[in-house]
Amino acid sequence: MFRLFDLTLALNGFPMKEAKTALSAIVGMNEKEHREFVENKKNEIVDFHLKHNTFYRSLHGSAASDAWEKLPVLTKKNLQCPLNERLSEGFSNKNIYINKTSGSSGDPFVFAKDKFSHALTWASNIYRFGWYGINFNHSLQARFYGIPLDSFGYRKERFKDLLSHRYRFPIFDLSDKVLEGFLDHFRVKKFDYINGYTSSIVLFAKFLKQKNLILKDICPTLKVCMVTSEMLFESDKFLLESQFGIPVVNEYGASELDLIAFQNPEGEWQVNAETLYVEILDDENNVLPYGKEGRVVITSLFNKAHPFIRYDIGDIGVLDESSTLQKPILKKLTGRTNDVAILPSGKKSPGLTFYYVTKSIIEDDGNVKEFIILQTAPERFRIEYVSEQPLSAPQIKNIAEAISIYLEPGLHFDFERKTVLDRSSRGKLKQFKSLL
């Protein structure tokens, strides 16, 4: 069978054959072999960057390279300097993969991977999507993502979609008229799977529910839906599976790293232990045991072009107590470290708490399509929402009462009904944001 996707990557200089062979060897290791592999790769990547990367040496200082827990923890702010100051010796724009983060954390930056490391990222994607019978060379993807709006960028992205065997549904306008157009494509195209931003796919499912339609009946070739980049609530997962008629898989990744966790066929959120080493740290950078909540800190075991060693990605999570080094399981991802509300009492509360409590009330009748919460002062919040009808006085009262119970009394909420919510340049919807 002709492998256009693999060929495209190979023509761009990514050694896919070698990467797939390497990943297969890692996956095939027993527990003892894997433990030795991880320790060797951790030492190897630190030693490499200490010898060949001036930027990492300056961060490292006098820390002993053989004491892993004493190594510096990198943050996104550390990386907000020109890329050429962060590259290792022997690497330049000619022999690396360059991209930039979305900036959804508030700290965007340009990053690089060496070509073997990036090929391993694709090999990891191919391996995990294969759990669900998806092959990037011939499985047609319905892609719910943003797209550049300038003429050149738009055509370039569409061409990349063609080579990658996917059809893109731009998500900046998700009105019913546009969603009806999306549905028309599902009637005529033999899509194998859906992939994209959670909030946009959820909105499409709500549209289907309004019309009393099951997507699998309209597009029988559909096998699975993968959602990414935004929180997936259990109620939304139930809605997606009900309206699509297919399994829904939760994906967690970062463009500068790799797939971090991917729901396996047993329903576990399995962490990538082949190309990454994931730790959960407390505020003093101490490693927390499985089951304890803390900062998600990740090491890229193969990227020699740019150091991502003990890199604080900005998320808060928990590894399940059943985790092992070879098979870590992500029990919970509670949001970003900067998505925390500081309340008048001094209490700190994850912003998603507001979102979760409010969501349970205002979406009961299906009137509200989507919403976001902004903190404008310690005691004041603004809820921006898209709906068929304005929120009623009883709904607003119920929201205030629920938040008073779950958080603290005395908080004030302003409600602003909008025709469309502001998304990032890539189409992501930031569900909670503090403006303080």
The number of distinct structural domains making up the chain is 2
Q: Position of tokens 């569409």? A: 158
Whether 248 and 289 map to the same domain: the answer is yes
pLDDT digits (tens, 9 = 90+) for 243-287: 999 999 999 988 899 999 999 999 999 999 999 999 999 999 999
Helix (H) or strand (E) holding 296: strand 293-300
192 belongs to a structural domain: no
276 and 351 in a single domain? The answer is no
| Number of C-beta neighbours around residue 217 at 10 A | 9
- The CATH number of whichever domain residue 314 belongs to comes to 3.40.50.12780
Q: Assess whether pLDDT exceeds 70 at residue 66.
A: no
- Domain assignment present for residue 209? The answer is no
- Chain-centroid distance of CA 142 in Å reads 18
Tell whether 187 is covered by a domain. no
Domain match, 390 and 291 both: no
Judgement on whether residues 276 and 366 belong to the same structural domain of the protein = no
Single out the residue in 286, 301, 336 at which a domain terminates. Answer: 336
Least confident of 231-245, 254-268, 359-373, 398-412: 359-373
> Whole-number mean pLDDT of the chain?
88
Q: What is the pLDDT of residues 88-102, one digit of tens each?
A: 999 998 899 998 775
Tell me if 101 sits within 8 A of 109, measured CB to CB.
Answer: yes
Chosen domain end from 336, 357, 377:
336
Taking the CB of residue 57, how many other CB atoms lie within 10 A of it? Answer: 13
Q: Both 411 and 311 in a single domain?
A: no
**Structural domain boundaries enclosing 56:** 4-139+223-336
> d(Cα 9, Cα 116) in Å, to the nearest integer?
11
Are residues 51 and 26 part of one domain?
A: yes
- Considering the domain boundaries, does residue 202 fall inside one? no
Tell if the pTM clears 0.75, that is, is over it. Answer: yes
| Domain's final residue, options 336, 362, 387 | 336
d(CA 258, CA 272): 8
Question: Per the domain annotation, does 295 fall within a domain?
Answer: yes
| Residue 176 CB neighbour total at 10 angstroms | 12
Q: What is the pLDDT of residues 93-136, one digit of tens each?
A: 889 999 877 544 445 578 999 999 999 999 999 999 999 999 99
**Residue 201 in domain:** no
10 Cβ contact list (under 8 Å, min separation 6)? 16, 17
164 within a domain of the structure (yes/no): no
Q: What are 171's two structure tokens?
A: 């998500």
Domain co-membership, 235 together with 300: yes
Beta strand 311-319 with 293-300: parallel, antiparallel or unpaired? antiparallel
Q: Do both 322 and 354 map to the same domain?
A: no
Strand partners, 50: none
Domain at 383, CATH number = 3.30.300.30
Does 152 map to a domain?
no
Question: Hey, which residues does 381 pair with through a beta bridge?
Answer: 375, 413
The pLDDT score that the predictor gives to residue 163 is 81
Examine the domain organization and report whether 86 and 235 are in the same domain.
yes
| pLDDT at res. 420 | 84
Side chain identity, residue 80: Q
Residues 325 and 364 in one domain: no
| Of 86, 78, 114, 77, nearest in space to 98 by CA | 114
H helix intervals, 271-392? 351-362
pLDDT digits (tens, 9 = 90+) for 12-59: 889 999 999 999 999 999 999 999 999 999 999 999 999 999 999 998
Residues 236, 300 within the same domain: yes
pLDDT at 371: 84
Residues 332 and 344 in one domain: no
